[in-house]
Chains A and B, each alone.
Chain A
Amino acid sequence: MVIGQYTITTTPKYNFPQPTIDTTLPQRFLEQSIHSLKQVRNQSFQLNQQNLQQTSTFDDNPTTLQLKRQPLPLTPRTQETLIAAVDTSTIKIGETSKGIIIAIRGATIWKQNRNYRYTRLGPFIFHITEENKKEVYNTLETAYFNIQYASNHQATPNLLQMPTRLASLLERWLQAMLAKTVSQGIILFDGSLTSGTIDTPVQRMKEILNTARRNKNIVLAFSKMTTLRVNGYLITDLLPEHEPPYLLETTGLQFKPPTVLLGDVYVARLNKANYAFRLDIDREIPIQHRMEAVEKLLGNDLYMQSYPETLRLAHILCTFTANEVLAMQHFITRKHGIQIINRPDMHRLLFGPFGKGESYS
C-alpha cells in the first residue's frame, strides 16, 4: 500500500516523512516555531489554555436546502479497504506582553489489516505577535501551497485567528499528503468540503480532491456539528424511522460566492446509536461509488456512536492534554528562559465569586 511510502529516517535532530512527499511545510513550521520562540526569550507570560479543534465556520443557512426523507440504506462491505483520517488541533498555552504562545499538532491515522497506525506531527510552538504574525503566516502559506494563494491573500489573520489558521494550514497539508500517498482508500476529513473561505481557498481544496481521485481514493468529510437546518430543524435531528445504517440526501444547498461547496451533503446515521452526522462526499465521485465508499467504511472501520473510529482516533491523538500543556510550558521555560507568571484574574478580582474568570470570558 502506498501508505508504506511514509519512509521515516532518523536524523540527529529532526525526523520527517521522506522523500516522496514535500516536507517544506513542516520544515517551515519548525523554523518559524523556533524563530518565533527566540523572540520571546526572557519575557514573562500569562498562563492561559484554550484547546481549539478545527471547526467549520461557514455553515451559513441557505433557505433552499431540502432533505430527502427517503433513506439510502447501506450494507457494510467487508472488502479490505484502507481507511485513513486526518485531524489537527491547536491550543493557546499562554500570553506574553506582545502576543500569544500557541501550539499546533496534526495526526494522520489509518486502519489496515485490522490495525490502526498513526503519524503525529508536532507539536509546533509559536510565539505570535502583531509584528511577526504576517511573516509567520505568509512564510507557511508559501512554503507548500502555491505562491498565488499567498499573493491573493486577503488579509493576514488577526492575532486570535492565528491559531486556527495555522492549524488549518497544517491540516490541509496533511490532507494533501494523504491524498498523495494513499491509493484506493477512503480518506476521512474532519469538517466539511466547503471552500472559498479565508483558510480554505477553492483551488487548494480542489487540488486535494483531484489528487485523491487520481489515486482512486474517495474523500468523506464528517462534521461533528452542523448548523444546517431544514424548516428550522437541524438536518441531523430529522431522522426517519428506518433501520440504520443509512444516508439522507440533501438538495438545494448553495452558498453565496466566494464560498463553494465541493461535495454533496448527506446526513449519515451509521448505527443504532441515536446520532447522525453531516457527511460531505466529493461531488465529482459518481453516486454509486459514493454509496460503495460509505459501505466500505462500514465494513472496515468501527463506528461507535455513528462516528468512524479512525477519525475519532485522529482527533484524540492530536488533541492536547493538560499534561502536554504543562510539558510545553516546561519546555519554553527551560529552553527559552520564559518566566511563568500568573496575572491576577480581573473577573475574580473585581467580582469575587460572581466573576466567572477570564477563561470563560
Chain B
Amino acid sequence: MKLYKKEGNILQILSFPNENVEKGDYLLVEDADAGKALIVQVIDVQFACIPGVLEELLRTLPDGGEPIQGEDIDPLEIAPHITYIQDASLLICKIRAPLENEMLSPSSSWLPSRSQSTIKKLQIPMLLKLAKVDGKLPIILGGTKDSSLLTIDASALDGRLNIITGKKETGKSHLSKLLIVSLVGYKATVVIFDLNGEYSSLGMTADGKRNMHYDKIHALTPSQNFKVALEQLHLNVILGILSHALHLPGTSVREFRRIWKTLKEKNTLTLHELGEAIRNWNCNQHVRDALFSRFHALVNSGFFTDNAAEATLLEECLLKAKEHGGAIVINLRNTSAIDRQIVVEYVLGKLVDSLTSWKLKAVFLFAEEAHLYLRDTYWDDIVTRMRHLGIFTTFITNQPDTIRENIYRQADNIFLFNFTNEHDLDAVSRAARVDAETVRSIARDLPPHHCLTLGKVVRDFPMVARVRAIDLKTMGETRLFFKDTN
C-alpha cells in the first residue's frame, strides 16, 4: 500500500490486489522518521485510476459486444503484472486519530511522509487497546472481520443516549436483547417498551428452558397481568395521561384535579367513585362530557382496576430489579394506540417519580419504534430532563426519520445495521458523533447481523462486527400465510 493523496481528513491510499483490504478496515500509516502514525479507516474502495485501462477494456470488445477470441503468447509472463496493475484499488480512508508514542494524540494537523510511510492493517484488538476500549463490565458484541471480538464496556452505555437502527430483519432486536441481558447481568434495571411482544421470553433459552435471567425478567402485559389501581396513581401521572394521551383540554384538567383531590381526601379513589363524581360534579356540561369521554377511555383500556389484588405493582418490579438487576418488559403487542400511550405515560411517570424520590438509582429504557407511543414533548424530555434524572434511553427503529434530529445530534452511541435507502442514511448521518461519509459508505454494504458501532462505546472509532448469537427464545415472529405449506 502507498500513500497517494490527502484532502481534508480523507486519505487516499493505493492498494494492490494481494493486500485484500475492505471497507471498515483500519490501517496504520506509520512514518518511522517522524515517530508518528495515523490511524485511518477505509470507508470506500474504488478502482484506481490507471492510465490505459479504458483502451484495454475497449479493445477486448470490438465486435458488437462479443469478446474477441484469441491466444496470447506471453513468454515473459507480463499478463499477471497487467492484471495486478489493473486491479489496483484506491482506498478512501478517513483519518481517525494520530498516534504518537503509542498514545492517541489530539493534534490532527500532522501529515505523514508519502514516500517513507509504511502502511499496514491495524487489527481490531490492537485498535481497542490503543483506544482504551476496555473496562470492568465487558459486553461482547460480536466478532469482527479479522476474527477478533468486539467488546464494549457496559459503563459506556451508562448515562448515554443510544440508537439502534437498520432495515427490517437486519438484527436490531437481536442486538437490543444482547445489550439488555448483558445489562441485567450487571444488575442494571432495564425497562423495555416491547411493541411486538419480542422481549417477554428473555428468560428462556431457544429450546424453551429457563435461563440464568429467568427470575429477573418481568413481562407485564397491560390489562392482563399489568393493571393499576387508581389509588396507586400519583395525581401528576393521571394528569399526564389525561392531557397527553387523551388530550383533555386545560379547563377540564383543572376540574379533574379538583375531583381527584376530593376523592383522595375521602379515600375513595376507585373507578366507580370517579365515574359517579364526574356525573354529579357541579361544572359546565361540556367539561363534564369531556371528562366522561376520558373516563370511559380509561375504563375501556382495561388497564385500571379497583381490585387491589389484580393490580400489579410496577414499583415492586422496579425495586426487585434494583436489588438484583432485572428487565421489566412492557408488552404493548395487542394494545391499541390510545391504550399504548396511556400505559407509556403511566410507566414514564412512575419512573420519573421513583427516580426523583431516589427509590431508583437509574434505569436503562429500551424503546422500540417510539414514535408510535411517545408524545412529542417527551423527545426533548428524554434527552434532557429524564436523562439527568437517570433514564438512559436506547431507541430502536427501522425508520430512522421518525427519530427527531435533536435526538440524533445528542446520541452518544449508534448501532447501525444495513440501510440502502438514501433518505434513511441521510437521517442517520445527522448524528453528531458520526461523519456522513462513513455512514453512507459502510452502512450501505453491511450484511445482515453486521452492525456498525459508532460513538463513545468504541471511543469514536467506528467498528463493524457480526453480532454474536445468544441462546434466547425467539418471539414476535411475523405471522405467515404460507408457513405451513412451505
Contact = CB atoms under 8 A, between A and B. Distances in A.
B75 A324 contact: no
Given A321-B55, A323-B51, A323-B56, A120 B84 contact: no
A54 interface: no
Nearest to B69: A117
Interface stretch (A11-19, A264-272, A285-293, A349-357): A11-19
A330 B16 CA distance: 12
Nearest to A320: B52
B81 A120 contact: no
A361 to B, nearest CB: 21
Given A125-B78, A324-B56, 14 more contacts: A14-B75, A15-B74, A16-B75, A17-B73, A30-B75, A34-B76, A109-B70, A119-B72, A120-B70, A122-B75, A321-B52, A325-B52, A326-B85, A327-B82
A8 B82 contact: no
Contact of B76 (A30, A115, A118, A322): A30
Contact of B59 (A6, A121, A316): A316
A297 interface: no
A327 B85 contact: yes
B69 to A, nearest CB: 5
Interface in B126-145: none
A58 interface: no
Contacts of A331: 76, 78, 81
A317 B67 CA distance: 13
Given A33-B76, A116-B62, A313-B62, A324 B71 contact: no
A124 interface: yes
Given A116-B63, A323-B52, A328 B81 contact: yes
B312 interface: no
Contacts of A326: 50-52, 85
Contacts of B211: none
Contacts of A309: 62
B69 A323 contact: no
Interface string B40-64: 0000000000111101100100110
Nearest to B68: A116
Contacts of A191: none
B84 A327 contact: yes
Contacts of A15: 73-75
Contacts of B62: 116, 309, 313, 316
A309 B62 CA distance: 9
Contacts of B59: 313, 316-317
Nearest to A13: B75
Interface string A181-208: 0000000000000000000000000000
The 5 closest A-B pairs by CB, nearest first: A322-B52, A321-B52, A118-B70, A322-B51, A323-B52
Contacts, number: 103
B86 interface: yes
A8 B72 CA distance: 10
Interface in A50-75: none
15 contacts: A14-B75, A15-B74, A115-B69, A116-B62, A120-B70, A123-B78, A124-B76, A309-B62, A313-B62, A313-B68, A323-B85, A324-B56, A324-B78, A327-B85, A328-B78
B75 A330 contact: no
A77 to B, nearest CB: 21
B53 A323 contact: yes
A26 interface: yes
Contacts of B73: 8, 15-17, 26, 119-122
Interface residues of B, number: 24
Centre residue among B52, B73, B74, B81 by max chain A CB count within 10 A: B73
A123 B76 CA distance: 7
A34 B53 CA distance: 27
Contacts of A121: 73
A123 B62 CA distance: 21
A43 B71 CA distance: 34
Nearest to B79: A327
A115 B74 CA distance: 23
Contacts of A29: 75
B235 to A, nearest CB: 79
Q: Max chain B CB contacts within 10 Å: which of A8, A116, A123, A323? A: A323
Interface in A193-242: none
Contacts of B78: 123, 125, 324, 327-328, 331
B51 A120 contact: no
Nearest to A326: B85
Contacts of B50: 322-323, 326
Contacts of B53: 321, 323
Interface in B236-271: none
Contacts of A116: 62-63, 68-69
A328 to B, nearest CB: 6
Contacts of B51: 321-323, 326
A331 B74 CA distance: 13
Contacts of A330: 81, 84-85
Given A316-B59, A326-B85, A122 B74 contact: yes
Given A321-B56, A323-B50, A324-B56, A118 B71 contact: yes
A16 B62 CA distance: 25
Interface string B340-358: 0000000000000000000
Contacts of A319: 55
A125 B82 CA distance: 14
B70 A324 contact: no
Nearest to A107: B70
A125 B72 CA distance: 16
Nearest to B53: A323
Interface in B75-106: 75-76, 78, 81-82, 84-86
B154 to A, nearest CB: 51
Nearest to B60: A317
Contacts of B85: 323, 326-327, 330
A13 B73 CA distance: 11
A320 to B, nearest CB: 8
A321 B84 CA distance: 15
A331 B304 CA distance: 82
Contacts of A325: 52
B79 to A, nearest CB: 8
B311 to A, nearest CB: 78
Interface in B8-63: 50-53, 55-56, 59, 62-63
A27 to B, nearest CB: 9
A13 B62 CA distance: 30
Nearest to A116: B68
Contacts of A33: 75-76
A324 B394 CA distance: 55
A34 B72 CA distance: 19
Contacts of B71: 6, 8, 118-120
A321 B62 CA distance: 16
Interface string A299-325: 000000000010001001101011111
